[in-house]
């Protein structure tokens, strides 16, 4: 949700600032802007549109200066207009502010400021911060003290970056609930929402904690606690991802690249040291209850985990969508809550973990982004190592998280005697062989998937259904499809069909059925029966099935026949095919695949 970046250095930093905000565009892309310190003034340019579009309209890169801040927005408070784009200037033009987060009490503050005669230029919550800074500076006389005083008045979440000609060649950055990280190099220093902003320039990073302020200059930075001003020393860490990994590498979209990255990212997930996986399994074994938690895709990852734990370890774990956790969860000492998150910054998941901690539960997380809030918040963390996921919709991160949960379920099954060592090893061998099979299938099947997607792109309504472990696959696939195609796609457990959803079916309503291998006889028969029910109502049905499944091939109106795979990895392969199917459908429909409308990566507000 919104990307912020600030750069201060020797000479003109604007080309670097521009590149850094462009690298964060996936966090939000409805408008963008830049504020640059020049002489005794601040120049602000901003407008609606993505970063390149705004550059064309406003010539951001024609600005010059040695310190600047920038923002790419995902609207929360206020419509998508040029006035609501960040940065926001104070009434005296002496402070420019960019913000990620939400100021809850902004209406109250706005009323007070208006009573003092301040005129507002935007509908945003952020603008109050700029005006409050101008007022506080009159009272306190330094930017730093003014900022501390203003922050005391704010209720909400924020990562803020501020520049002011009162203090040229300085950037002030504070964190209160929204992510912020410094990038350090001899030529220039950065403050940004995430490391992607500065990876082409430096890999040396310092993560801010909530309640901290950084003051950056071309030569260095200081870090201090907001509460008492005490200096904080935190050694920088080297970020392992390089900028090249996050580039498109010849693919037309990040989504496609990230789908094709999966053999590699799964290999990384298989290389996570066994002791780490076993430690999580042990925590589950020792816990009175275990809750898996995520939201959106990561909720469906959790759902897959639920099936894996039941089937491999005979342990029923709960799955709760993070946003509902406060309403329904009953956890306390002795319980374990395992959060799943690509970004490690998702507000709903983070606050649910905070709640679990306060309630005395043990917490663990499977996270992709190194140094993220969640990874530092929990008692136990598994870093999944999928590398930067730039496309707004999650593909490779989700698949690796699923693999991590399956590995954990296997360890638990071995530890509690549900699985023999032989069965455990056979499973591991199947997992180990999967990345190569996936690579081969991606290479060989993409053309077929594309054909099917193009052939079916005229359907406006879809039902994705599966039974057993194919149910979470169908749910996640449906989410992917609706995100990138903007079509109406319902995911259901196939057993639900005759309990209501069947009413939707007619010849215009398409279904995608996720078939289990034939060897899973009961599930297979049930899936076939569900398909029959749709066909009997003239509904066109397509399917993802295995190539030895002649019954499925016969009954379907089309589909993708996959190589026969072991039961443990077959559902994951179906999901990858469904990801590709969504991608090609969206391509055919001309959608903004990497940045679908109305969405943002890393939703850091509640
Ligand atoms: C869907 C998607 C979202 C995220 C969700 C959680 O493609 O990406 O549903 O899964 O916002 O995000 P993380 O995993 O960053 O916590």
- The pLDDT value recorded for residue 245 is 66
- What's the distance, Cα to Cα, between the start and end of the chain in Å? 11
Within a domain: residue 505?
Answer: yes
The Cα 424–Cα 170 span in angstroms is: 57
Distance of CA 518 from the midpoint of ligand 1 (Å): 32
Within a domain: residue 427?
Answer: no
Q: What percent of the chain has pLDDT over 70?
A: 98
The CA-atom distances, in angstroms, between 36 and each of 158, 160, 275, 374, 510 are: 21, 15, 49, 33, 52
Within a domain: residue 483?
Answer: yes
Average pLDDT of the chain to the nearest whole number? 94
Indicate whether residue 476 lines ligand 1 (CB < 6 A).
no
Say whether both 455 and 414 belong to one domain. no
How confident is the model over 356-376, as a mean pLDDT?
A: 94
User: Which of 419, 436, 467 is the endpoint of a domain?
Assistant: 419
Distance of CA 297 from the midpoint of ligand 1 (Å): 5
Say whether both 519 and 547 belong to one domain. yes
Say whether both 241 and 256 belong to one domain. no
Q: Which of 257, 480, 595, 601 is catalytic?
A: 601
- The pLDDT value recorded for residue 403 is 98
How confident is the model over 258-284, as a mean pLDDT?
A: 96
In this structure, what token pair is assigned to residue 272? Answer: 């996570």
What length does the chain have?
Answer: 606
The pick from 179, 319, 325, 341 for probing ligand 1's pocket by mutation, whose C-beta has the most ligand atoms within 8 angstroms, reads 341
Indicate whether residue 321 lines ligand 1 (CB < 6 A).
no
The pick from 293, 343, 367 for probing ligand 1's pocket by mutation, whose C-beta has the most ligand atoms within 8 angstroms, reads 343
Say whether both 164 and 62 belong to one domain. yes
Say whether both 257 and 153 belong to one domain. no
Residue in 50, 54, 58, 138 with CA at minimum distance from that of residue 90? 138
Residue 233 phi/psi, 5-degree rounding, is -110, 125
For residue 193, give the CATH number of its domain.
Answer: 3.60.20.10
Cβ–Cβ contacts within 10 Å for residue 220, how many?
10
Indicate whether residue 602 lines ligand 1 (CB < 6 A).
yes
Residue 151 phi/psi, 5-degree rounding, is -60, -30
Within a domain: residue 176?
Answer: yes
Say whether both 538 and 561 belong to one domain. yes
The Cα 264–Cα 436 span in angstroms is: 9
Within a domain: residue 95?
Answer: yes
User: Which of 366, 385, 419 is the endpoint of a domain?
Assistant: 419
Say whether both 326 and 272 belong to one domain. yes
The Cα 472–Cα 476 span in angstroms is: 6
pLDDT of residue 374 exceeding 80, the answer is yes
Say whether both 567 and 589 belong to one domain. yes
CB 2 within 8 A of CB 603: no
Going 419 to 421 to 426 to 430, the CA torsion angle's sign is: positive
Distance of CA 263 from the midpoint of ligand 1 (Å): 21
601 is catalytic: yes
Indicate whether residue 342 lines ligand 1 (CB < 6 A).
yes
Indicate whether residue 375 lines ligand 1 (CB < 6 A).
no
Return the residue whose CA atom lies nearest to atom 16 of ligand 1: 341
Indicate whether residue 346 lines ligand 1 (CB < 6 A).
yes
In this structure, what token pair is assigned to residue 258? Answer: 């990230």
Return the residue whose CA atom lies nearest to atom 5 of ligand 1: 296
Residue in 103, 150, 155 with CA at minimum distance from that of residue 125? 103
Evaluate the omega torsion of the peptide bond into residue 87 and state whether it is cis, within 30 degrees of 0.
Answer: yes
H runs (alpha helix) in 456-569: 470-485, 521-535, 550-555
Say whether both 410 and 472 belong to one domain. no
Please tell me whether residue 22 adopts helix, strand or coil conformation: helix
Residues in a beta bridge with 237:
205
Say whether both 238 and 303 belong to one domain. no
Say whether both 372 and 472 belong to one domain. no
pLDDT of residue 244 exceeding 70, the answer is no
How confident is the model over 94-116, as a mean pLDDT?
A: 95
Distance of CA 477 from the midpoint of ligand 1 (Å): 13
Distance of CA 345 from the midpoint of ligand 1 (Å): 10
Q: Which of 2, 110, 257, 595 is catalytic?
A: 2
Q: Beta strands 336-341 and 290-294: pairing type? A: parallel
Within a domain: residue 434?
Answer: no
Within a domain: residue 430?
Answer: no
Residues in a beta bridge with 9:
188
- The pLDDT value recorded for residue 79 is 86
How confident is the model over 471-482, as a mean pLDDT?
A: 98
**Ligand 1 atom index nearest CA of 346:** 16
The Cα 324–Cα 291 span in angstroms is: 13
Q: Which region, left, alpha or beta, applies to residue 11 given φ > 0 means left and ψ of -120 to 50 means alpha?
A: left
Among 17-31, 268-282, 463-477, 553-567, the minimum mean pLDDT is found in 17-31
The pick from 297, 388, 472 for probing ligand 1's pocket by mutation, whose C-beta has the most ligand atoms within 8 angstroms, reads 297
| Domain count of the fold of the chain | 3
User: Which of 246, 261, 289 is the endpoint of a domain?
Assistant: 246
Distance of CA 397 from the midpoint of ligand 1 (Å): 9
In angstroms, what is the C-alpha Rg of the chain?
Answer: 25
- For 225, the enclosing helix (H) or strand (E) is strand 221-225
Q: How confident is the model at residue 324 (pLDDT cuts 50, 70, 90)?
A: very high
In this structure, what token pair is assigned to residue 319? Answer: 């799955």
Q: What is the pLDDT of residues 188-230, one digit of tens each?
A: 999 999 998 999 999 999 999 999 999 999 999 999 999 999 9
CB 192 within 8 A of CB 201: no
- For 321, the enclosing helix (H) or strand (E) is strand 318-321
The pick from 603, 605, 606 for probing ligand 1's pocket by mutation, whose C-beta has the most ligand atoms within 8 angstroms, reads 603
Say whether both 545 and 573 belong to one domain. yes
Distance of CA 341 from the midpoint of ligand 1 (Å): 7
- pTM value surpassing 0.95: no
Residue in 44, 43, 38, 7 with CA at minimum distance from that of residue 22? 7
How confident is the model over 338-351, as a mean pLDDT?
A: 95
- The pLDDT value recorded for residue 251 is 85
For residue 332, give the CATH number of its domain.
Answer: 3.40.50.10490
2 is catalytic: yes
- The pLDDT value recorded for residue 98 is 97
- The pLDDT value recorded for residue 25 is 85
Which range marks the domain in which residue 409 is found?
A: 251-419
Distance of CA 298 from the midpoint of ligand 1 (Å): 6
Indicate whether residue 393 lines ligand 1 (CB < 6 A).
yes
Q: Beta strands 212-216 and 171-176: pairing type? A: antiparallel
How confident is the model over 494-499, as a mean pLDDT?
A: 94
The Cα 45–Cα 41 span in angstroms is: 13
Residue in 388, 486, 399, 476 with CA at minimum distance from that of residue 26? 388
Residue 65 phi/psi, 5-degree rounding, is 170, 165
Q: What percent of the chain has pLDDT over 90?
A: 89
Within a domain: residue 184?
Answer: yes
**Ligand 1 atom index nearest CA of 480:** 7
Q: Quick one: how far is CA 311 from the chain centroid?
A: 28
Please give the biggest Cα pair distance in the chain. Answer: 79
Among 115-119, 140-144, 425-429, 601-605, the minimum mean pLDDT is found in 601-605
Cβ–Cβ contacts within 10 Å for residue 358, how many?
8
Residues in a beta bridge with 367:
341, 383
Angle at alpha carbon of residue 476, lines to 276 and 403, rounded to 5°? 20
Residue 377 phi/psi, 5-degree rounding, is -85, -35
DSSP secondary structure of 277-304 = HHHHHHHHHHSS-EEEEESTHHHHHHHH
- The pLDDT value recorded for residue 240 is 77
């Amino acid at each position: 949700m919104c990307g912020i970046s600030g750069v201060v250095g020797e000479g003109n930093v604007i080309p670097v600032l521009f590149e850094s905000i462009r690298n964060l565009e996936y966090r939000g892309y409805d408008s963008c802007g830049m504020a640059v310190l020049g002489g005794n003034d601040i120049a602000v340019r901003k407008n609606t549109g993505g970063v390149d579009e705004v550059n064309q309209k406003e010539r951001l890169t024609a600005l010059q200066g040695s310190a600047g801040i920038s923002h790419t927005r995902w609207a929360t408070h206020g419509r998508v207009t040029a006035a609501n784009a960040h940065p926001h200037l104070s009434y005296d033009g002496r402070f420019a502010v960019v913000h990620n987060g939400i100021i809850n009490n902004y209406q109250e503050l706005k009323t007070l400021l208006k009573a003092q005669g301040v005129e507002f230029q935007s509908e945003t919550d952020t603008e109050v911060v700029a005006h409050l800074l101008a007022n506080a500076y009159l009272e306190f006389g330094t930017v730093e003290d003014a900022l501390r005083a203003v922050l005391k008045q704010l209720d909400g979440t924020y990562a803020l970056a501020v520049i002011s000609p009162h203090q040229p060649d300085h950037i002030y950055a504070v964190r209160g609930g929204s992510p912020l990280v410094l990038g350090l190099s001899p030529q220039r220093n950065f403050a940004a929402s995430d490391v992607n902003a500065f990876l082409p320039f430096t890999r040396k990073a310092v993560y801010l904690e909530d309640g901290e302020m950084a003051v950056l200059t071309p030569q260095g930075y200081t870090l201090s606690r907001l509460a008492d001003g005490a200096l904080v020393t935190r050694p920088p860490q080297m970020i392992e991802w390089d900028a090249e990994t996050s580039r498109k590498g010849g693919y037309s979209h990040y989504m496609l690249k990230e789908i094709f990255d999966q053999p590699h990212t799964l290999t990384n997930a298989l290389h996570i040291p066994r002791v780490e996986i076993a430690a999580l399994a042990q925590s589950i074994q020792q816990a009175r209850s275990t809750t898996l938690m995520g939201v959106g895709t990561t909720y469906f990852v959790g759902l897959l985990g639920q099936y894996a734990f039941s089937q491999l370890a005979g342990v029923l774990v709960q799955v709760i969508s993070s946003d509902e956790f406060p309403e329904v969860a009953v956890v306390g000492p002795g319980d374990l809550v395992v959060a799943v998150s690509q970004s490690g910054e998702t507000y709903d998941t983070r606050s649910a973990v905070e709640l679990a901690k306060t309630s005395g539960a043990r917490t663990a997380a499977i996270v992709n982004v190194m140094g993220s809030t969640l990874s530092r918040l929990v008692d136990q963390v598994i870093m999944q190592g999928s590398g930067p996921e730039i496309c707004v919709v999650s593909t490779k991160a989700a698949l690796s998280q699923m693999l991590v949960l399956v590995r954990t379920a296997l360890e638990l099954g071995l530890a509690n005697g549900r699985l023999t060592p032989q069965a455990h090893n056979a499973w591991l061998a199947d997992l180990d062989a999967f990345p190569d099979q996936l690579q081969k299938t991606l290479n060989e099947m993409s053309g077929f998937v594309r054909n099917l997607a193009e052939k079916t792109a005229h359907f406006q309504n879809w039902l994705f259904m599966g039974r057993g472990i194919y149910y979470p696959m169908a749910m996640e696939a449906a989410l992917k499809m609706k995100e990138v195609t903007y079509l109406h796609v319902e995911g259901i457990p196939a057993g639900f069909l005759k309990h209501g959803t069947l009413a939707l079916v007619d010849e215009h309503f398409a279904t995608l059925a996720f078939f289990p291998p034939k060897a899973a006889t009961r599930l297979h028969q049930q899936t076939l029966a569900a398909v029959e029910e749709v066909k009997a109502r003239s509904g066109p049905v397509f399917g993802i099935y295995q190539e030895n499944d002649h019954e499925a091939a016969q009954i379907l109106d089309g589909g993708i026949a996959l190589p026969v795979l072991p039961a443990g990895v077959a559902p994951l392969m179906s999901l990858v095919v469904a990801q590709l199917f969504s991608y090609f459908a969206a391509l055919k429909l001309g959608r903004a695949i990497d940045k679908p409308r109305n969405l943002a990566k890393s939703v850091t507000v509640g």
